Amino acid sequence: MNTIYQPADEQSIRTAAALLKEGQLVAFPTETVYGLGADALNEEAVKYIFAAKGRPADNPLIVHVADKSQLDDLCEVTPEAEKLMDAFWPGPLTILLKKKAAVPDVTTAGLPSVAVRCPDHPVALALLKESQVPVAAPSANRSGRPSPTTAEHVYEDMNGRIAMILKGGDCRVGVESTVLDMTGSVPCILRPGAVTREMVAKVLGSCTVADSVMRPLKEGEAAPSPGMKHRHYAPKASMTVYVGDHEKVIAEICRRYDAAENAVILAMENDIPAFGARHTLSIGASPEETAHLLFKRLRETDEMGVSLVLAQGWEGEEMVLAVMNRMARAAAFDVVKL
């Protein structure tokens, strides 16, 4: 398949919208990561998403809408969910709600809930408005690879496999949306993102975080969110993340680097001098900057062909949870506290 690869402008967005309506796949930028979109109500089109990504069929998709008025046919919107939409949409908050019959089972992987979100990106919003269809869109990477945060990443993974890629620059946030389950008695975060537990609790009074967010699932344990049981974000090299005492972390990373054949350090910007002549890649100077850079850096470690990635991690709350959830998964939960 010949993939159209064009900067997003009025005309290319019109072309993309027409392709979506025909049941084709279009990748587009959002504020979190690039999405791989299909008409969420077109069963055949949604099946192509799973095929193009190599995604397991039991991993449900997020349905993107231009605004909350588009939800009427898709799900049952509760008053609490509406409060969240008013507070955080457009934005990086995905809400799980009871699905209606119009949403095909392939889109939700057979689950009774559907995940919905309105993205905060001018290109994504223009595409959703122009196409007039709800758009099912997981991240536009091949399954198992880090999510794409630039159009070039999407091209690497999807050229020849989908109808079109809309180029729209780097994604601002850099990690995927918060997934919040609103189908239970207490709002519960299944995947942390830039809309934090603290921010949701301010609006609703309470919000919990699923405890499987920061640990591997146990043998035979049911995943609250199917995405959690799949291998994610992993670089080709093996990876260890270090947190805790600052001096000890730097000393231990240096020791392991020096003992390895071909390692690279994902270092906080201000600590780069402390690693001397060792090969470092910056992960910025704040959790927000790390979120923005992490997936790009993981792809770079693949290109460099290193055998070991040693990363400095963050400790704390709010955005730290989103960053450390991805780092821990990339490292297959090899997180060392010193």
Residues of the shown chain interacting with ligand AMP in the complex, contacts defined by CB under 6 A: 59-60, 62, 96, 108, 111, 113-115, 138-139, 176, 179, 190-191, 225-227
Least distance from ligand AMP to the Cβ atom of residue 250, Å = 33
CB of 149 to ligand AMP, least distance (A): 13
37 versus 138: smaller Cβ distance to Mg ion: 138
Which residues lie below 8 Å from residue 161, measured CB to CB, with a gap of 6+?
Answer: 1, 3, 25, 52
Closest CA to 274 of 305, 304, 303, 249: 249
Q: Using an 8 Å Cβ cutoff, are 13 and 19 in contact?
A: no
In the complex with ligand AMP, the residue whose CB is nearer, 62 or 195, is 62
Give the binding-site size for Mg ion (rule: CB under 5 A): 2
108 binds, among Mg ion, ligand AMP, none (CB under 5 to 8 A by kind): ligand AMP
At 34, give phi and psi (nearest 5°). Answer: -70, 140
Binders of Mg ion in range 259-318 (CB under 5 A): none
Tell me how far, at minimum, the Cβ of 32 lies from Mg ion, in Å: 10
Q: How far is the CB of 176 from Mg ion (least distance, A)?
A: 6
Nearest to Mg ion of 242, 295 (CB atom):
295
Going across the sheet that includes 238-243, the strands are: 280-282, 263-267, 308-312, 238-243, 335-337
Say whether residue 183 binds Mg ion (CB under 5 A).
no
Which of 226, 235 has the CB closer to ligand AMP? Answer: 226
Give the up-direction half-sphere exposure of residue 232: CA atoms within 13 A in the CB hemisphere. 19
CA-nearest of 51, 246, 288, 94 to 254 is 246
Secondary structure (DSSP) of 142-169: -TTSPPP-SHHHHHHHHTTTSSEEEE--
Residue (231 or 248) nearer to Mg ion, CB: 231
Q: Is 80 helix (H, G, I), strand (E, B) or coil?
A: helix
Stretch that binds Mg ion, among 94-102, 108-116, 136-144, 181-189 (CB under 5 A): 136-144
Residues 6+ apart with CB under 8 A from 77: 68, 71, 85, 97
- Least distance between ligand AMP and beta carbon 320 (Å): 19
**Binds 113, which of Mg ion, ligand AMP, none (CB < 5 to 8 A, cut-off by type)?**
ligand AMP
Task: Determine the distance from the C-alpha atom of residue 123 to the mean position of all C-alpha atoms in its chain, rounded to a whole number.
Answer: 18
Q: Which amino acid is at 91?
A: G
User: What does 59 bind: ligand AMP, Mg ion, none (CB cut-off 5 to 8 Å by kind)?
Assistant: ligand AMP
The minimum distance between CB 99 and ligand AMP, in angstroms, equals: 8
The answer to whether the CB of 157 falls within 8 A of the CB of 145 is: yes
Residue 325 engages Mg ion in binding (rule: CB under 5 A): no
Interface stretch with Mg ion, choices 18-26, 65-73, 134-142, 158-166 (CB under 5 A) = 134-142
Nearest residue (CB) to ligand AMP, 233 versus 242: 233
Closest by CA to 310, choosing from 337, 284, 286, 331, is 331
Quick check: 322 and 197 in contact, CB under 8 A? no
Binding-site member from 30, 107, 139, 290 for Mg ion (CB under 5 A): 139
Residues that bind Mg ion (CB under 5 A): 138-139
